[in-house]
């Protein structure tokens, strides 16, 4: 008999707050979010009624599509305080990260006649790590800096890593697993003193933190719609003027030639709406969610001994909690929770490997596997938080007894 299996399978949880008993309680909103009803509504006309190609302004439908794209671009740009022409639409954050990193490094190498040195932090999402590793195969050198035990990269550590040929630094805004927020203001100052381009993956930060692109000082910034109650399949790279980028694909010249291909109008319109909703009452919403997240952590700590928080609780997204449950095998913990609670052991894209993020902040593989990332959504209630506490407590205490 597997650990605690029989008693756990008999557990019954009546889940309130919009979830039926059969549907696991949702605490995995950093993986993705549902489309907000307002987003679905604004997208509707662009499937059948206004289905023109925004690049084809010889037709009325094309002109309408072009106007709708411009308006959406303007709205999205306003949410970030950038000029609309600084936004390049992509299929999501993965593509935006690839375009930023491969695009800038290759453009710079063409100009200089040789590949240069790249710096990143070892807790990045795979969509940053993997293109950087591709660049290594192409002859670039790469330094992956370890954060401190709280998950933060210090300015001092970054400054020690610069070399004469460093061309690009990529440090994520907020971490997708442990939610910690990097000190970008300090990091960008160091980069700019040396004329080095700074890219930041803000897929998790956008919609949770106020982002003013100009104030932030990054040169390249990645965002994605499906993390902010927008549609899947659309994101953007925000580019400062005069940052050289070599496109990843070639074609009809859309998006100033940086990302050719017919624009996904319904998704772009939905993205802009989602962005507007996300900055509406942002502070109020985050304060409420931070309170709920803190209640969740306090409740769990009161009921379950031997939990370790992963990452600092100070500079952290309001919706994120990530902790290690000592004394339990990870796969058993996750299997036992699955019928009752949607949560994650790491990022949604980690392919079952122990989290590289948790290992970078000092957890062993075993500890990383027995860790839980709980992420709250905009509609999460105190009842759901209390339910989650009960579910996790019962599962953990039963497994530890077995």
Catalytic residues: 349
Q: Which tokens sit at 56?
A: 């084809």
Q: Which is nearer to ligand PLP, 176 or 319 (CB)?
A: 176
Cβ at position 174, least distance to ligand PLP in Å: 8
Q: Which is nearer to ligand PLP, 221 or 388 (CB)?
A: 221
Q: Which is nearer to ligand PLP, 28 or 369 (CB)?
A: 28
Q: Which tokens sit at 257?
A: 């030639």
Q: Which is nearer to ligand PLP, 86 or 125 (CB)?
A: 125
Cβ at position 267, least distance to ligand PLP in Å: 11
Cβ at position 104, least distance to ligand PLP in Å: 17
Taking the C-alpha atoms of residue 182 and residue 195, their distance in angstroms, rounded to an integer, is 20
Cβ at position 347, least distance to ligand PLP in Å: 6
Neighbours of 112 (CB within 10 A): 11
Q: Which is nearer to ligand PLP, 228 or 368 (CB)?
A: 228
Cβ at position 180, least distance to ligand PLP in Å: 12
Cβ at position 31, least distance to ligand PLP in Å: 7
CA-only gyration radius of the chain, Å: 22
Q: Which is nearer to ligand PLP, 93 or 361 (CB)?
A: 93
Residues that bind ligand PLP (CB under 6 A): 92-94, 125, 127, 172, 176, 201, 203-204, 224, 226, 235, 347-349
């Amino acid at each position: 008999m597997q650990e605690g299996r029989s008693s756990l399978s008999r557990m019954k949880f009546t889940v309130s707050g919009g979830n039926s008993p059969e549907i696991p309680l949702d605490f995995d909103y950093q993986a993705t979010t549902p489309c907000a009803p307002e987003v679905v509504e604004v997208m509707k006309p662009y499937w059948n009624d206004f289905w023109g190609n925004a690049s084809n302004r010889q037709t009325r439908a094309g002109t309408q599509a072009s106007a709708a794209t411009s308006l959406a671009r303007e709205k999205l740009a306003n949410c970030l305080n950038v000029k609309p022409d600084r936004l390049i639409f992509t299929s999501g954050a993965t593509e935006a990260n690839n375009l930023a990193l491969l695009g800038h490094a290759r453009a710079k190498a063409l100009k200089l006649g040789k590949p240069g040195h790249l710096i990143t932090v070892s807790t990045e999402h795979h969509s940053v790590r993997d293109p950087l590793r591709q660049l290594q195969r192409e002859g670039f050198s790469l330094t992956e800096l370890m954060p401190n035990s709280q998950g933060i990269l210090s300015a001092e550590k970054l400054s020690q890593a610069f070399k004469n040929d460093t061309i690009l630094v990529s440090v994520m805004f907020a971490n997708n697993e442990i939610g910690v927020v990097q000190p970008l203001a300090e990091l960008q100052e160091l980069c700019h003193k040396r004329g080095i381009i700074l890219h930041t993956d803000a897929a998790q930060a956008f919609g949770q933190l106020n982002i003013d692109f100009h104030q932030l000082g990054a040169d390249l910034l990645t965002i994605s719609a499906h993390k902010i109650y927008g549609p899947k399949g659309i994101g953007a790279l925000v580019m400062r003027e005069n940052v050289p980028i070599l496109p990843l694909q070639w074609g009809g010249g859309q998006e100033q030639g940086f990302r050719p291909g017919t624009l996904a109008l319904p998704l772009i319109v939905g993205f802009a709406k989602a962005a507007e909703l996300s900055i509406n009452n942002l502070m109020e919403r985050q304060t409420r969610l931070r309170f709920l997240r803190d209640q969740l952590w306090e409740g769990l700590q009161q009921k379950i001994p031997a939990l370790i928080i992963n990452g600092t609780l100070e500079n952290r997204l309001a919706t994120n909690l990530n902790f290690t449950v000592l004394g339990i095998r990870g796969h058993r913990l996750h299997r036992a929770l699955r019928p009752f609670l949607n949560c994650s052991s790491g990022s949604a894209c980690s392919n079952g490997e122990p989290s590289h993020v948790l290992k970078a902040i000092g957890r062993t593989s075993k500890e990383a596997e027995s860790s839980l990332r709980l992420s709250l959504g905009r509609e999460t209630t105190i009842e759901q938080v209390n339910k989650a506490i009960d579910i996790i407590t019962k599962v953990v205490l039963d497994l530890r007894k077995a």
